[in-house]
Each structure stands twice: as structure tokens, then as C-alpha cells.
Amino acid sequence: MTPKIKLSASKAKVTLPGRKQVYRLYRPDTGAAFADVIALADETVGGHPLTVVNSDPLSTHKQVTLTDYVARPLLRPVMSDDGHVNVFDVQRRSRGWLGELPQPVLRLVNPDTYHVYLAPQLAALQTSMLQELRG
């Protein structure tokens, strides 16, 4: 598969190229979720310090090094071998993942920020594709 990217005048509308996996990061002492990392599907996240890029294009703190975390992949195939999707299984898993988020993040009024980062290979691929297309 050849990665593709969509350009836009707005940084927020530029897409992430390639096949991806999303990892939820947990604190090992409490088991609380504290961030998600979007990575390329073949990129490994976990077990080592990881320097990531903030996915928010308006963020002032671009790079962060994460240590002392447990990473679990979130994306799994939903279609069975016979081509059917168990919608109730998808709904159950989605509700479970939503339930892992800290309550202050879920507030409707003045919610806390939940950090979403880009893994190094994905960030590098996006940057190189943007530079190549913009000349």
C-alpha cells in the first residue's frame, strides 16, 4: 500500500498517511489512561521511552518524551471471516474505551485536555510527505 496524504490550508485538516494503529497509554501504578498515541500499523509502541509529537497543530509543546507507561492497542478487525460485523461487540468495546477516560475529560463544560500524540515514524512520514508535496 502506498501512503497518501491530503493537503489543506488549515493544519487541522491535513490527514495522517498510511495504515495506522492507536495505542492507549496507562500509568503502571494506577492503571489510569492518560494519553493515546497514533502510530503506523507496523510501528511498535511500548516498553521503552518514546519521544512523540503532539497531534494538536496549535500546540506550543511539539515533542514530549513519555516514560513509565503501559501501551495497549485499541484498533482491532471488526469484520468476521464471513463478512459480517457484530455491531453490538463494536458498541460494547467503544463504551469500555470511553469509560477508561478520566472524568474531567468527559465534562461537557470546560473539559480537561486528553493528549493525543503521533508516534515518531508516523510524524516523520507525514512531515516528509508534506515537504515533498510543497516543494
Domains in the chain: ranges and CATH: 11-127 (3.20.140.10)
Q: pLDDT-derived band of residue 61, with 50, 70 and 90 as boundaries?
A: low
Average pLDDT for the chain: 89
Average pLDDT over residues 67-88: 86
pTM score of the predicted model: 0.87
Res 57 pLDDT > 80? no
User: CA 37, 113, 76 angle in degrees (round to 5)?
Assistant: 30
- Kindly report, residue by residue over 17-29, the tens digit of the pLDDT: 999 999 999 999 9
Cα gap 101→71, rounded to integer Å: 14
Grid coordinates given for 27:
500509568
* 58 touches 16 (CB < 8 A): no
- Kindly report, residue by residue over 21-55, the tens digit of the pLDDT: 999 999 999 999 999 999 999 998 987 899 999 88
pLDDT at 40: 96
Cα gap 68→83, rounded to integer Å: 40
In angstroms, what CA-CA distances link 124 with 39, 88, 132?
11, 37, 12
Q: Which residue has the higher pLDDT, 3 or 61?
A: 3
